[in-house]
């Protein structure tokens, strides 16, 4: 079976035999895998590479739920598949409420895991692409002058040039010049595209 999505799978579980078996299964499907015996080891060694996580909810020192919270606090965002043993279902449900993508109860079918991992990596790559697109918009926006930002805000709010001119106490011709510069600097090919970019700026 060939991996059709890119990214690293991080396995955080204190059970060495389980880590080894999961690593073998995933690497046999051509996935890149890095394993950690504890949440602390993951936090100390995580390199920021895009990926997803297989996370055991019940571990000593820092359990899966606590690691989820620490990751959120540190801005480490990746799809998480929670692994739970018998009796850990309430913890797995809590993990889902905290944003985990799915959970599997041991023992589970390898094909089910591979499908979930593929879905998780697809989600991670999509999030990375969206983040890159947003950063590109933010970089363009940073190059606008104060006046151009004012004009852009009024344009995306639906104001006509005449209304913008009155609002800013400038001539309609000057508004046209600023509006043209805004479209050029933002690399927006249309008003709807500029409106979409404005929403991305607002989400940053």
What are the extents of the domains in the chain? 8-129, 143-203
3-state SS assignment for residue 41: helix
Whole-number Cα distances in Å, 79 to 52, 71, 146:
5, 11, 38
The predicted-structure confidence for 127-141, as pLDDT tens digits, reads as follows 877 877 888 899 999
Please say whether the beta carbons of 187 and 133 come within 8 A.
no
Q: Is the pLDDT of residue 197 over 80?
A: yes
Q: Against a cut of 0.75, is the pTM above it?
A: no
The predicted-structure confidence for 14-42, as pLDDT tens digits, reads as follows 989 999 999 999 999 999 999 999 999 99
What does the CA dihedral 106, 87, 59, 54 come to, rounded to 10 degrees?
Answer: 40
pLDDT at site 3:
52
| Range with lowest mean pLDDT among 63-67, 78-82, 95-99, 154-158 | 95-99
Task: Give dist(CA 79, CA 119) in Å, integer.
Answer: 9
- 143-203: CATH class: mainly alpha
With CA atoms as reference, report the closest residue to 197 among 131, 125, 138.
138
Task: Write down the residue that tokens 């995933």 correspond to.
Answer: 26
* Domain covering 8-129: architecture: 3-Layer(aba) Sandwich (3.40)
């Amino acid at each position: 079976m060939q991996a059709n999505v890119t990214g690293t799978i991080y396995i955080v579980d204190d059970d060495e035999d389980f880590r080894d078996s999961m690593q073998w299964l995933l690497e046999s499907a051509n996935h890149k895998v890095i394993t950690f015996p504890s949440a602390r080891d993951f936090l100390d060694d995580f390199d920021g590479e895009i990926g997803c996580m297989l996370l055991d909810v019940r571990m000593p020192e820092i359990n899966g739920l606590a690691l989820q919270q620490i990751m959120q606090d540190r801005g480490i965002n990746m799809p998480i598949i929670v692994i739970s043993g018998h009796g850990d279902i309430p913890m797995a449900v809590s993990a889902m409420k905290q944003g985990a993508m799915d959970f599997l109860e041991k023992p589970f079918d390898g094909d089910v895991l591979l499908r979930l991992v593929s879905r998780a990596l697809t989600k991670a790559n999509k999030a990375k692409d969206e983040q890159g697109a947003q950063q590109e918009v933010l970089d363009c926006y940073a190059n606008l002058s104060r006046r151009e930002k004012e004009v852009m805000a009024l344009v995306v709010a639906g104001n006509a040039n005449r209304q913008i001119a009155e609002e800013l106490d400038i001539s309609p011709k000057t508004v046209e010049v600023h509006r043209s510069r805004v479209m050029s600097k933002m690399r927006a090919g249309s008003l709807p595209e500029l409106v979409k970019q404005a929403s991305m700026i607002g989400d940053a």
